[in-house]
Amino acid sequence: MKLYPNYYCKRVTDISVDFLKSHNIKGLILDVDNTLIDYDKNLLDGVKDWYKEINENNIKCIIVSNSHRLEKVKTVAKSIGIPYIFFAAKPFKRGFVRAQKELNIDSENIAVIGDQIFTDVIGANRANMFSILVEPVAEKDILITKIKRPIEGIIIKKYLQQKDQNQDKEREDR
Protein backbone atom coordinates (compact mmCIF):
# COMPACT_ATOMS: atom_id res chain seq x y z
CA MET A 1 0.00 0.00 0.00
CA LYS A 2 1.51 3.28 -1.12
CA LEU A 3 1.02 6.05 1.45
CA TYR A 4 2.83 8.82 -0.38
CA PRO A 5 1.11 11.09 -2.90
CA ASN A 6 2.48 11.68 -6.36
CA TYR A 7 2.34 15.42 -5.61
CA TYR A 8 1.79 17.60 -2.54
CA CYS A 9 0.77 21.27 -2.42
CA LYS A 10 -1.04 23.78 -0.26
CA ARG A 11 -4.40 24.23 -2.02
CA VAL A 12 -6.34 22.78 -4.93
CA THR A 13 -6.14 26.22 -6.55
CA ASP A 14 -2.32 25.88 -6.65
CA ILE A 15 -2.62 23.09 -9.21
CA SER A 16 -2.18 24.60 -12.66
CA VAL A 17 -3.46 23.44 -16.01
CA ASP A 18 0.16 23.29 -17.20
CA PHE A 19 1.07 20.95 -14.33
CA LEU A 20 -1.88 18.69 -15.12
CA LYS A 21 -1.08 18.62 -18.82
CA SER A 22 2.60 17.88 -18.11
CA HIS A 23 1.41 14.74 -16.29
CA ASN A 24 -1.10 13.85 -19.04
CA ILE A 25 -4.06 14.40 -16.69
CA LYS A 26 -7.39 14.64 -18.51
CA GLY A 27 -9.72 14.21 -15.55
CA LEU A 28 -9.91 15.17 -11.89
CA ILE A 29 -11.61 13.54 -8.95
CA LEU A 30 -12.10 16.14 -6.22
CA ASP A 31 -12.73 15.61 -2.54
CA VAL A 32 -15.13 18.03 -0.78
CA ASP A 33 -14.51 18.31 2.96
CA ASN A 34 -11.39 20.33 3.78
CA THR A 35 -10.38 20.29 0.12
CA LEU A 36 -13.06 22.44 -1.53
CA ILE A 37 -14.93 23.58 1.60
CA ASP A 38 -14.15 24.08 5.27
CA TYR A 39 -16.00 22.49 8.18
CA ASP A 40 -18.57 25.31 8.08
CA LYS A 41 -19.26 24.62 4.37
CA ASN A 42 -17.53 27.77 3.07
CA LEU A 43 -16.13 27.28 -0.43
CA LEU A 44 -12.37 27.83 -0.72
CA ASP A 45 -11.56 31.24 -2.23
CA GLY A 46 -10.73 31.02 -5.92
CA VAL A 47 -12.19 27.55 -6.55
CA LYS A 48 -14.78 28.74 -9.06
CA ASP A 49 -12.18 30.65 -11.10
CA TRP A 50 -9.77 27.70 -10.86
CA TYR A 51 -12.46 25.31 -12.08
CA LYS A 52 -13.38 27.66 -14.92
CA GLU A 53 -9.79 27.50 -16.20
CA ILE A 54 -9.69 23.72 -15.75
CA ASN A 55 -12.96 23.36 -17.66
CA GLU A 56 -11.84 25.72 -20.46
CA ASN A 57 -8.86 23.40 -20.97
CA ASN A 58 -11.13 20.36 -21.39
CA ILE A 59 -10.12 18.66 -18.16
CA LYS A 60 -13.18 16.83 -16.85
CA CYS A 61 -14.03 16.90 -13.15
CA ILE A 62 -16.19 15.00 -10.70
CA ILE A 63 -16.57 15.23 -6.93
CA VAL A 64 -16.13 12.00 -4.97
CA SER A 65 -16.91 12.41 -1.28
CA ASN A 66 -17.19 10.07 1.67
CA SER A 67 -19.86 12.32 3.14
CA HIS A 68 -23.27 10.75 3.58
CA ARG A 69 -24.83 14.24 3.58
CA LEU A 70 -26.28 14.38 0.08
CA GLU A 71 -27.41 18.02 0.31
CA LYS A 72 -23.95 19.24 1.33
CA VAL A 73 -22.17 17.45 -1.52
CA LYS A 74 -24.89 18.36 -4.01
CA THR A 75 -24.75 22.05 -3.00
CA VAL A 76 -20.96 22.22 -3.49
CA ALA A 77 -21.14 20.38 -6.81
CA LYS A 78 -23.94 22.61 -8.06
CA SER A 79 -22.14 25.81 -7.00
CA ILE A 80 -19.12 24.80 -9.08
CA GLY A 81 -21.07 23.08 -11.85
CA ILE A 82 -19.74 19.53 -11.74
CA PRO A 83 -21.21 16.06 -11.15
CA TYR A 84 -20.73 14.23 -7.86
CA ILE A 85 -20.68 10.92 -6.06
CA PHE A 86 -21.38 10.92 -2.33
CA PHE A 87 -20.93 8.22 0.33
CA ALA A 88 -18.09 6.83 -1.79
CA ALA A 89 -16.38 4.70 0.90
CA LYS A 90 -12.86 5.87 0.06
CA PRO A 91 -10.22 4.34 0.08
CA PHE A 92 -12.14 1.41 -1.41
CA LYS A 93 -11.99 1.38 -5.19
CA ARG A 94 -15.75 1.43 -5.79
CA GLY A 95 -16.16 5.24 -5.79
CA PHE A 96 -13.02 5.77 -7.86
CA VAL A 97 -14.06 3.19 -10.46
CA ARG A 98 -17.53 4.71 -10.69
CA ALA A 99 -16.01 8.18 -11.17
CA GLN A 100 -13.64 6.83 -13.83
CA LYS A 101 -16.58 5.38 -15.74
CA GLU A 102 -18.48 8.67 -15.53
CA LEU A 103 -15.42 10.61 -16.71
CA ASN A 104 -14.78 7.99 -19.41
CA ILE A 105 -11.01 8.40 -19.03
CA ASP A 106 -8.27 5.81 -18.39
CA SER A 107 -7.21 5.66 -14.73
CA GLU A 108 -3.63 6.71 -15.46
CA ASN A 109 -4.99 9.98 -16.91
CA ILE A 110 -6.99 10.86 -13.79
CA ALA A 111 -5.72 12.77 -10.77
CA VAL A 112 -7.38 12.55 -7.37
CA ILE A 113 -7.15 15.69 -5.25
CA GLY A 114 -7.85 15.48 -1.53
CA ASP A 115 -6.66 16.38 1.94
CA GLN A 116 -6.33 12.93 3.51
CA ILE A 117 -3.75 10.20 3.03
CA PHE A 118 -5.94 7.40 4.41
CA THR A 119 -8.85 8.08 2.06
CA ASP A 120 -7.83 10.13 -0.97
CA VAL A 121 -4.16 9.18 -1.49
CA ILE A 122 -4.45 5.49 -0.69
CA GLY A 123 -7.63 5.20 -2.76
CA ALA A 124 -6.08 6.99 -5.73
CA ASN A 125 -2.94 4.89 -5.56
CA ARG A 126 -4.96 1.65 -5.31
CA ALA A 127 -7.01 2.72 -8.34
CA ASN A 128 -3.85 3.48 -10.37
CA MET A 129 -4.60 7.21 -10.44
CA PHE A 130 -2.29 10.19 -9.89
CA SER A 131 -2.64 11.22 -6.24
CA ILE A 132 -2.42 14.87 -5.20
CA LEU A 133 -2.47 15.68 -1.49
CA VAL A 134 -3.42 19.20 -0.44
CA GLU A 135 -3.25 20.74 3.00
CA PRO A 136 -6.61 20.88 4.78
CA VAL A 137 -8.51 24.11 4.13
CA ALA A 138 -9.06 24.54 7.89
CA GLU A 139 -7.98 22.91 11.14
CA LYS A 140 -11.51 22.06 12.22
CA ASP A 141 -12.35 18.43 11.36
CA ILE A 142 -14.74 15.65 12.22
CA LEU A 143 -13.57 13.42 15.10
CA ILE A 144 -12.27 10.44 13.10
CA THR A 145 -10.21 12.73 10.89
CA LYS A 146 -8.79 14.56 13.93
CA ILE A 147 -7.58 11.21 15.21
CA LYS A 148 -5.82 10.40 11.91
CA ARG A 149 -4.17 13.82 11.35
CA PRO A 150 -1.14 13.26 13.65
CA ILE A 151 -0.34 9.98 11.88
CA GLU A 152 -0.73 11.68 8.51
CA GLY A 153 1.60 14.43 9.75
CA ILE A 154 4.34 11.85 10.37
CA ILE A 155 3.84 10.36 6.91
CA ILE A 156 3.94 13.80 5.26
CA LYS A 157 7.12 14.70 7.14
CA LYS A 158 8.81 11.51 5.91
CA TYR A 159 7.51 12.11 2.38
CA LEU A 160 8.95 15.64 2.34
CA GLN A 161 12.31 14.42 3.73
CA GLN A 162 12.50 11.75 1.04
CA LYS A 163 11.56 14.28 -1.63
CA ASP A 164 14.32 16.67 -0.41
CA GLN A 165 16.86 13.83 -0.43
CA ASN A 166 15.88 12.88 -3.98
CA GLN A 167 16.23 16.50 -5.13
CA ASP A 168 19.66 16.76 -3.46
CA LYS A 169 20.75 13.56 -5.21
CA GLU A 170 19.51 14.88 -8.57
CA ARG A 171 21.55 18.08 -8.08
CA GLU A 172 24.67 16.06 -7.24
CA ASP A 173 24.17 13.90 -10.34
CA ARG A 174 24.14 16.95 -12.64
- Any domain includes 152: no
Q: What is the DSSP string of 18-40?
A: HHHHHTT--EEEE--BTTTB-TT
Q: In the structure, what pLDDT confidence band is assigned to residue 125 with cuts at 50, 70 and 90?
A: very high
Give the integer Cα–Cα distance in Å for 29 and 131: 10
**CB 109 within 8 Å of CB 77:** no
Question: What rounded mean pLDDT belongs to the chain?
Answer: 91
State which residues form the domain around 51: 7-140
pLDDT at 174: 65
Give the integer Cα–Cα distance in Å for 83 and 7: 24
- Any domain includes 164: no
CATH number at residue 81: 3.40.50.1000
pLDDT at 160: 83
| Average pLDDT for 103-124 | 97
pLDDT at 173: 72
3-state secondary structure labels for all residues of 42-79: CECCCHHHHHHHHHHCCCEEEEECCCCCHHHHHHHHHH
- Any domain includes 159: no
- Any domain includes 157: no
pTM: 0.90
Give the integer Cα–Cα distance in Å for 120 and 25: 17
- Any domain includes 148: no
How many structural domains does the chain have? 1
64 vs 167 pLDDT, higher one: 64
| Range with lowest mean pLDDT among 43-52, 108-117, 138-147 | 138-147
Q: In the structure, what pLDDT confidence band is assigned to residue 82 with cuts at 50, 70 and 90?
A: very high
**CB 30 within 8 Å of CB 48:** no
Q: Which helix (H) or strand (E) holds 111?
A: strand 110-114
- Any domain includes 146: no
